[in-house]
Amino acid sequence: MNDDAAARLREQLTRSPGPLRLGGSEFAPQRPLVLAIVNRTPDSFYRPGVTWDAVAAMDMVHVAVADGADILDVGGVPAKPGPEVTVTEEIRRVVPFIERVRAAYPDLVISVDTWRHEPARAMCAAGANLINDTWSAWDPALPEVAAEFGAGLVCSHVGPQRPRTRPHRIAYADVVADILDRVLPLAERAVKAGVDADRIIIDPTHDFGKNTWQSLEITRRLAELTATGWPVLLSASRKDFVGETLGTGVEDRLAGTLATTAVGAWLGARVFRAHDVRETRQALDMVASIRGERPPVRALRGLA
């Protein structure tokens, strides 16, 4: 397909911005959402094992909800290379936890970070409302699972990268064009499979299949993705491109993450995947107030 044909196809696959419907909740286009990360793994890249214990994981859920999380994102397999996690083990790690969260928070939107249809089906049956497919339709059966349960679906971009691998000398003629040429057809395919268009999110997927230069370019060109009308997920929390840009370790990447979050919010991203919920919520609220979409909690200065 030549560049002109690709551009025409992208235009055909855009839509008018509308509400995002997940579970029984409806979120207006101007409302930014915080997707709080709770990993059910012993070996996550950030603070490994902190929510491996089931009680600690539920404590984290309570804190995230109190701090302003709109969605909870639960994963049972780390993205980084490591020991195999079987389908059975992924289900064992995540499904009972989803059941406990759903019992405690009947109306909370629960997302599951998985790329395989068997765990996704078990997790949706347990109460999950969104399938966060971070590996770009590696398993083509995921849209059917989302449609079966009336769940949402994240359509992501990882280039040629396979699940749980790292990019190696990755190159694109135009990284944003490549993202659009991947995620927009995935969204259209999900609609044809029966997923409600109002339940689909697209994700440029920083770091996955990208080097740091490419993740930075995605961030500054995010408006090209939000212009499609599909809700955009920004998943930048403490990622390597932040660390490499600032020369910091994973424990010292909050400031860079929040800067990326603010830029993304200004450019129209809708969902923000975060380890640090309270700080992310405050950054998003501040951007919304600067844009004139949210009044200050109080505004007494110069008035009394």
Q: What does DSSP say about strands 152-156 and 130-132: parallel, antiparallel, or unpaired?
A: parallel
Residue 9 pLDDT grade (very low, low, confident, very high; cuts 50, 70, 90): confident
Q: Please enumerate, as own/partner, the contacts of 224-229 that have beta carbons within 8 Å and a separation of 24 or more.
A: 224/176, 224/180, 225/176, 225/179, 225/180, 226/267, 226/268, 226/269, 226/270, 227/14, 227/268, 228/10, 228/13, 228/14, 228/15, 228/180, 228/184, 228/202, 229/14, 229/15, 229/16, 229/17, 229/18
Q: Is the pLDDT of residue 55 over 90?
A: yes
- 210 catalytic residue (yes or no): no
Q: What is the pLDDT of residue 70?
A: 98
Query: pTM of the predicted model, to two decimals?
Result: 0.96
| Averaged pLDDT of the chain | 96
Q: Is the pLDDT of residue 23 over 80?
A: yes
pLDDT in tens, 245-291: 999 999 999 999 999 999 999 999 999 999 999 999 999 999 999 99
Report the CATH fold assignment for 30-290: TIM Barrel (3.20.20)
Q: What is the pLDDT of residue 1?
A: 64
- The arithmetic mean of pLDDT across residues 200-218, rounded, is 98
Q: What is the pLDDT of residue 56?
A: 94
- The arithmetic mean of pLDDT across residues 120-140, rounded, is 98
Q: What is the pLDDT of residue 212?
A: 98
Q: What is the pLDDT of residue 225?
A: 98
Alpha-carbon Rg for the chain in angstroms? 18
Q: What is the pLDDT of residue 45?
A: 80
Q: Count CB-CB contacts under 10 A for residue 61.
A: 23
pLDDT in tens, 66-86: 999 999 999 999 999 999 999
- The arithmetic mean of pLDDT across residues 52-61, rounded, is 95
Angle at 95 between CA 89 and CA 98, to 5 degrees: 145
Give the tokens for residue 62: 């309570």
Q: Is the pLDDT of residue 2 over 80?
A: no
Residue 199 pLDDT grade (very low, low, confident, very high; cuts 50, 70, 90): very high
Q: What is the pLDDT of residue 7?
A: 80
Q: Is the pLDDT of residue 47 over 90?
A: no
pLDDT in tens, 24-45: 999 999 999 999 999 999 988 8
Find the catalytic residue in 21, 93, 199, 239.
239
Percent above pLDDT 70 for the chain:
99
Q: What does DSSP say about strands 20-22 and 200-203: parallel, antiparallel, or unpaired?
A: unpaired
- 239 catalytic residue (yes or no): yes
Q: Poorest-confidence range of 36-50, 139-153, 201-215?
A: 36-50
Find the catalytic residue in 93, 121, 238, 273.
273
- The arithmetic mean of pLDDT across residues 140-162, rounded, is 97
